[in-house]
């Protein structure tokens, strides 16, 4: 991935948060200003990594330049694998350590969880998609991590496409009225609409939606929805889906399952930094 200005701004903010306009008093007290070291970022478990370039950008932000990527984003790694190595000023390495790991561990956690969901759907035509349930300020990075885990992205922003949800439907006076209002004002936008009954699905189909979100329906209801639609539009299932029943939803014939947990509930992937004094 290319490091953007917003990524750099986020990195700078994270480092500033750590220092709070002061200095690393522990490192200043225990490590000489000219001390040099080599350090390795090492996986403590097996999984899929993401964020290695962000970790590298953190290292560069504190003045380190001798950096070697051993692995790449999207790689499947195992416990003990070296992912990234850095040589340089010891204080600088330790200044960057926690910020780099915060990004690296979180994004690798998202990628690893996504890969587990993707594995459950192997052999089906269904894809795993993320949602907008992302950490404020980290949406681009978290959605990137989803892709590294083999998942696909839903819209990035509210302006990318229309997603007519239950509150929009209630405010507009029904699924047909809500859809018509969006189509009239944004005729060239992709429109997805949420339905929570098969009756609503039948009502909205003549409006020719691009995608229909089946909210909190069972695999059996999703299978019936697939039969009703008969290829007229794509279908996405959301709500009530756990990794244990994901395959049942995929085998119903829906095109996507939307999983907010990919970003809002991914366990941190354990990566450590081991320092070796030179």
**Catalytic site includes residue 9:** no
* Residue of 133, 181, 223, 234 marked active site: 133
DSSP 152: B
165 in active site: yes
Neighbour tally for 144: CB within 10 Å: 21
Q: Is 150 left (phi over 0), alpha (psi -120 to 50) or beta?
A: left
CA contacts within 13 A on the Cβ side of 6:
6
- Which residue is listed with tokens 């070296």? 82
| 246's tokens | 């994901």
Among residues 7, 53, 81, 194, the one annotated as catalytic is 194
> Could you confirm whether 98 is annotated as catalytic?
yes
- Paired tokens of 167: 């509150």
The reply to whether 130 belongs to the active site is: no
**CA 16: distance to chain centroid?**
25
Burial letters 229-258, b for 16+ CB under 10 A, else e: beeebebbbbeebeeeebbebbbbbbbbbb
State the catalytic residue, choosing from 98, 132, 139, 181: 98
Q: How far apart are CA 153 and CA 190, in angstroms?
A: 15
Instruction: Give the helix/strand (H/E) hosting 276.
Output: strand 271-277
Active site residue 142: no
Which of these is catalytic: 12, 44, 119, 165?
165
> Which among 119, 148, 118 is positioned nearest to 51, based on CA atoms?
148
Q: Which residues pair with 193 in a beta bridge?
A: 164, 212
The tokens describing 20, both together, are 């709070």
Can you read off the two tokens belonging to residue 53? 């370039």
Catalogue the active-site residues. Answer: 98, 133, 165, 194, 215
């Amino acid at each position: 991935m290319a490091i953007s200005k917003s990524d750099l701004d986020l990195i700078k903010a994270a480092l500033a948060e750590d220092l709070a306009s002061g200095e690393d008093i522990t490192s200043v007290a225990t490590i000489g200003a000219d001390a040099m070291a080599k350090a390795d970022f090492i996986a403590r478990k097996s999984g899929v990594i993401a964020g290695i370039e962000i970790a590298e950008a953190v290292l560069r932000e504190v003045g380190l330049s001798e950096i070697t990527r051993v692995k790449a984003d999207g790689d499947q790694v195992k416990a003990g694998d070296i992912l990234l190595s850095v040589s340089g000023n010891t204080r600088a390495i330790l200044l960057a350590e926690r910020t780099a790991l915060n990004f690296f561990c979180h994004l690798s956690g998202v990628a690893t969880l996504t890969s587990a969901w993707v594995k459950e759907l192997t052999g089906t035509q269904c894809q795993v998609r993320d949602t907008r349930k992302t950490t404020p300020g980290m949406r681009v990075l978290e959605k990137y991590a989803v892709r590294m885990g083999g998942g696909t992205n839903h819209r990035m922003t509210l302006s990318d496409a229309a997603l007519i949800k239950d509150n929009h439907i209630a405010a507009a006076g029904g699924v047909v009225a809500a859809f018509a209002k969006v189509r009239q004002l944004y005729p060239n936008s992709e429109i997805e609409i949420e339905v929570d009954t098969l009756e609503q699905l039948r009502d909205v189909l003549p409006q020719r939606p691009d995608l229909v979100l089946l909210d909190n329906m069972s695999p059996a209801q999703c299978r019936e929805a697939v039969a009703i639609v008969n290829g007229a539009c794509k279908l996405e299932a959301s709500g009530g889906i756990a990794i244990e029943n994901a395959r049942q939803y995929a085998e119903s014939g829906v095109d996507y399952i939307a999983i907010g947990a990919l970003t809002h509930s991914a366990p941190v992937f354990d990566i450590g930094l081991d320092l070796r004094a030179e």
